[in-house]
Structure 1
Amino acid sequence: MTDPTGRAVPVRFWTPARLAVTAAILVGILGIGAIVYVVTGPAAEDDPAALSRRFSTAIDWQACGDGLRCADVDAPLDWHDTTTGSISLKLIKHTATGTREGTLLVNPGGPGGSGVDFVGGDVHQAVDPALAEHFDVIGFDPRGVGESSPVRCYGAKEMDRYLYGILPGAIGSAKWLAASRRADADFAAACADRTGPLISHVDTESVARDLDLIRSDLGEKKLDYLGYSYGTYLGTIYAGLFPERVGRFVFDGADNPWSDGGGSTDDEGATDQAVGFDGDLRNYVAACIAGSREAVPQGSCPLAGSTDAGMTQVKSILDRVAASPLRAKDGRLLGDATLATAIAEALYDTTSWPRLTTAFRHVQAGDPAAAFALADDYNGRSPKGRYYDNSAEAFDAVTCLESPGEDSATALRKDAAKIQAEAPVLGKYQAYSDLLCAQWPTEVADFPEPVRAPGAGSILVIGSTGDPATPYADAVALAKQLKTGHLLTRVGDGHTAYDLGDSCIDSAVDSFLRTGATPAGAAARCD
């Protein structure tokens, strides 16, 4: 999607509603921020396996409130250079409430999502009661994220200016491109300056190696893992590196950058994602106009006519806000890109559709508050103007370390035209997603060959037919690509499927993680 200045960036791959925790809970659980440690003594050989053995140590769990236990794990800054120092990884554990059957590591997605918040806020955000009863559920903040050694870029006021300021000119115009480059370059420079050497080492492969270090520290011969969205990509990379250490893996909302035959720079990914959001928006518009309680629990729909007419009306609302931004009580201006971000936030989960209906009603009446509330949820901004975490900054750091970006106006406009042709309402805000990464101060990491992971344990890949952020085709392709992949299909809208009230999906995942049974035939589809 875009950040709300109109600078287009890919959609962060998680369901934001899953990550809602209060500041009070965070302070109680997390305490003081992470510390970066320095490695001393002679360097080990340039060998990731040797480094893992060197850093592996029993985890010192400490009580951190509400029956939870927290710990810090020391990991190498650079898995291929022992002389560069080390970083700290924050872990949190919810102990099985009943008969313990194993340990399950979870990742909420992102990149940039906090596993500590995910499990610490409420373990049932991460897993359902059956798994919480029988597994020690462990969340961790990946390197660069939250309470692990973090990426740091801007303070709250600077983030507000960067995320909510409105750039001059129409998106894609020469004036807009020049302003966007300046703003992005300033942001990238701040990230490099305030983060230091870590900025070059937050790639997914490094996180996967951290994950294996955690497995070793836990004393587990094999890893059981549940990853949502980007967390599925992290899990896939892990399976490619350490197939013999894969126990039972679940990938929900599969992110598969190889599904179109390309890598992380493949333009098809941005197009497919834009088409996914436009498609889910159509489903919302149809439900709204039909008066479905799913979208309009009370009052009336602010859109009318056919679904096509409703989509045109949404585009008109976006165009109207672009021409005349709406000022909120806190002084911020709601432009069309901020409104597009609000729309995207609501499309992640159908339970947020009523909030989108309210936002459209209020915007049409000149009140931007409901739209800002959605956009703020997406960006992790509190009502008082503070940011709950560094997820937006970490997302950019990981994405740009793994994507080369594009600075050519000609190439950018060509790609934008293609995206907008296939996603005429929201595609405009998915376009130009390569611009920020072209300003990024790090070298791009090598992108891996398609992972097949022969010899890995079973991997259950869940795809939702109406997933806007990670298209269903990605799940189908990934399940086929992985040698031990098994596809579980959910028919419905929204991003991710497990632990959201679908008993068919929940029972299939629980059974797989507890017994290893993979759904097949009719059982592999939940209507």
Structure 2
Amino acid sequence: MPAHARPRRRAALAAACSFALAAPLLAAATPAGATAPDPRVDWGACDDDILATVPDGERDRYSCADHEVPLDHADPEGERISIALLRRAADDPDARIGSAFVNPGGPGNAGRVLAVNAANHLDEEVLDSFDIVGFDPRGTGASTPFSCFTSDEEAAGVFGRLIRTPVNEEEVSGSLAGYRSYAEHCAANAGPLIEHMSTRDVAHDLDALRAAVGEERITYVGQSYGTLIGATYANLYPERVRAMVFDASVDPDLRTNDGLEQDRQRAGAHEEALDAFLTACAEAGDACAFGSGDPHAKWDALRERLHQGPIDVPGGAPLTADGLITGVAYGLFSQAGLGQLAAQLQGAHDAMTGATTEGAADPRALLTAEAPLGAAGPDAEPSPHLFSDPHFAFNCSDKPFDHAQGDVPALVEEWEAEMPTFSRFQLFGEAALCPLWPAASPDPYTGPWELSTEIPVLVLGGVHDPATPYAFSERVVEQLGAARLVTVDGFGHCFTGLSEAGDALVSDYLLDLRVPEEGTVVELDAPPFS
């Protein structure tokens, strides 16, 4: 049945990814350093905790496995590690096309949960026709772990010193010292896995998993950092790609060749998204809780006040610059959550001025224990903190930094002249640690990126994405040999499941390999401040 005639059924959304006439399969050469196909995945029952959100009557469609791959794909007979997988079986076996791999980004987030929550992101026709396969990339989740510490207490002693947005000399020097200690722990405790935590390694793992589930070509949906996995795979194995969706794409060339400039542009994207949010809030008037007066001036006053010290909030702990700015950075990830973000900002402003405004909310809720890592998709597994060992391992393996750690305070001063809110937030992450990273030769894939897949990659890029700016999506389309950009006119980070029009395009692409027309623009279903 042609795509336009197929009745579309929408899956229920819980949050903010074959081909009927298959083309002949090309012979697949094995790139240098890659492995020959492994034996098939041995699927079995999943532990109850990973299926906690799945109704009892639906759990029989899920299965799990631990599959071994080489630690070093250049040494396939050497040490092996385990990759944890979860499969959600196709709802209609008669309509089954194959397996579709999914990844929620991070980096450093477990990925199996995206398969559990597949109905939040993919139309029911896709769930009818594909086994959805999520995997915890090496070092993460239930896969062989990457850890720099010998105990939780040891980790807490270091992570407790790291402030994402330090604003005074004591916080800055303490965070830099904490990162130095962190690097020392990684050198002492991480073991041989530290040399094999690049996205190239993950792409080789993914190809082994593709073969192990019985697919000659891969169908893949990646969010955020997951798009770098996809871009790397597509250039290592272009003839093995059936279809790929990149949701909120990174710029592969920039990320793997100039880590500091990538971070500077990400800080700028956060600034742009915040400015657009404040402008939209002013235009919304009473519909936006932060809209009375001048939202831009109110925000500037809040930021400057918090740089002087915490703000007392009735009934609990004071609000810090780190809490507010880090919370806003992640609050901009969801268009549907902008109304709540506005209410929390008004609560912060009330605490600063002593006012009481109807509709204001407790600003301390901005930063919760479930804030996402890095630039993860909305269904990435919650983390107990904003830092994690595999998060830094992937980033420090992939992103080159030529500066010394001691240059970071001067970079803050330079960047803040242009980007006053999010420069510290961005610089006190990888830029403060990766110059010290103890891996000797992690061997990232740095290009070329122009190898063509038979079917163009489908790229969804949001115009107000704070984590992977729209320019990144434009550039990945330019870099890849074949790709098509769909513009998402809205706020947030990662968009599958949030736009009926966009999801229809994704479904037609995954099911029938129909590529949208150039210049296609879609909107998100939930308007801001709704």
Classify the TM-score, shorter chain: 0.7 to 0.9
Residue 270, structure 1, aligned to residue 268, structure 2: no
Check 1:46–1:468 CA distance in 2 against 1; reply closer, same or farther (3 A cut): closer
Report the Cα offset of residue 156 of structure 1: 5.5
Query: Mean Cα displacement is larger for which, 75-84 or 144-153?
Result: 75-84
Letter in 1 for 2:462: S
1:240-281: CA deviation from partner (whole Å, max 9, x where unpaired): 10011011111110101425xx74434331221111111111
Q: Which residue of 1 aligns with 2:210?
A: 215
* Residue 107 of structure 2 corresponds to residue 119 of structure 1: no
Q: Secondary structure at the residue paired with 1:139?
A: strand
CA, structure 1 residues 161+346, in 2 after alignment: closer, same or farther (shift >3 Å)? farther
1:255 to 242, 250, 253: 250
Q: Cα–Cα, structure 1 residues 329 and 97, in superposed 2: closer, same or farther, change >3 Å?
A: farther
Indicate if the aligned counterparts of 1:72 and 1:90 stay in contact, CA closer than 8 A. Answer: yes
Alpha carbons of 1:404 and 1:372: their partners in 2 closer, same or farther (altered >3 Å)? farther
Contact 2:111 2:136 in 1 (8 A): yes
Does residue 286 (structure 1) correspond to residue 279 (structure 2)? The answer is: yes
- Contact 1:205–1:237 (Cα < 8 Å) also in 2: yes
Q: Structure 2 length normalisation: TM-score?
A: 0.78
Tell me the residue number matched to 1:61: 43
The match for 1:189 is: 184
**What is the match of residue 38 of structure 1?**
none
Alpha-carbon shift at residue 422 of structure 1 (Å): 2.6
> Structure 1 residue 372: deviation in Å?
4.8
The 8 Å contact of residues 328 and 334 in structure 1, kept in 2 or not, is answered as no
The 2-side partners of 1:248 and 1:126 are apart by: 17
Contact 2:311 2:351 in 1 (8 A): no
Q: Tell me by how many angstroms 1:451 deviates.
A: 0.6
| Alpha carbons of structure 1 residues 271 and 47: separation in structure 2 relative to 1, 3 Å | closer
**What are the superposed Cα offsets for residues 445-473 of structure 1, whole Å, 9 maximum, x if unpaired?**
34512311234432111111111111111
| 1:90 and 1:140 in contact (8 A); partners too | yes
**Structure 1 517/317 Cα, relative in aligned 2: closer, same or farther at 3 Å?**
farther
| Structure 2 SS opposite 1:315 | helix
Amino acid at match of 1:514: L
Alignment of 1:206-355 (within 5 A): 206-258=201-253, 263-291=256-284, 296=288, 300-301=289-290, 304-320=292-308, 323-324=309-310, 334-355=319-340
Conserved in 2, the CA contact under 8 Å of 1:87 and 1:149? yes
* Alpha-carbon offset, residue 225 of structure 1: 0.4
Q: Kindly tell me: are residues 372 and 439 of structure 1, through their superposed partners in 2, closer, same or farther at Cα, counting changes over 3 Å? A: farther
Alignment of 1:416 onto 2:398: no
C-alpha distance in structure 2 between counterparts of 1:85 and 1:396, whole Å: 23
Consecutive unaligned residues in structure 2, runs of 5 or more: 1-13, 17-29, 52-58, 353-360, 374-381, 524-530
The residue correspondences of 1:360-371 to structure 2 (distance < 5 A) are: 360-364=345-349, 370-371=363-364
Q: Percent identity?
A: 27
> 2:121 and 2:322 mapped to 1: Cα distance?
30
Match of 1:40 in 2: none
Task: Find out whether 1:468 has 2:466 as its counterpart.
Answer: yes
Question: Alpha carbons of 1:263 and 1:415: their partners in 2 closer, same or farther (altered >3 Å)?
Answer: farther
Structure 2 SS opposite 1:279: helix
Contact 2:234 2:453 in 1 (8 A): no
Letter in structure 2 aligned against 1:427 = S
1:495-506 to 2 correspondence within 5 Å? 495-500=493-498, 502-506=499-503
Task: Indicate which of 71, 85, 91 corresponds to 2:65.
Answer: 71
SS at match of 1:52: coil
**Deviation string for 1:190-227 (max 9, x for gaps)?**
34444322122111000000000001111111000000
* Contact 2:273/2:466, CA 8 A, preserved across alignment: yes
Query: Distance in 1 between the 2:462 and 2:441 partners?
Result: 31
Quote the residue 1:437 is aligned against.
434
Q: 1:377 aligns with which of 361, 367, 370?
A: 370
SS in 2 for 1:316: helix
DSSP 3-state at the match of 1:104: strand
What letter corresponds to residue 343 of structure 1 in structure 2?
A: V
Aligned length: 464
Q: Distance in 2 between matches of 1:510 and 1:213?
A: 26
- Output the CA distance in 1 between the equivalents of 2:389 and 2:314: 25
CA contact (8 A) 1:166 1:335 kept: no
- Which is worse superposed, 227-236 or 412-421? 412-421
Q: Distance in 1 between matches of 2:203 and 2:219?
A: 13
Give how far 1:329 is off: 8.4
In structure 1, the residue corresponding to 2:367 is in which secondary structure? helix
* Partners of 2:311 and 2:318 within 8 A in 1: yes
Deviations 1:44-77 (A, max 9, x none): x99634x334xx0011111326121001110001
Distance 2:235 2:264 in 1: 27
Counterparts of 1:370 and 1:163, CA distance in 2: 23
Return the match for 1:81 from 46, 60, 75: 75
Secondary structure of 1:62 counterpart: coil
Q: Is the 8 A contact 1:130 1:510 kept in 2?
A: yes
Mean Cα deviation higher: 203-212 or 412-421: 412-421
How large is the Cα RMSD of the aligned pairs? 3.3
Relative distance call for 1:406 and 1:141 in structure 2 (3 A) is same
Q: Please state how far the C-alpha of 1:506 moved relative to its aligned partner.
A: 0.6
Tell me the CA shift for residue 228 of structure 1. 0.6
Q: Which residue of 1 aligns with 2:456?
A: 458
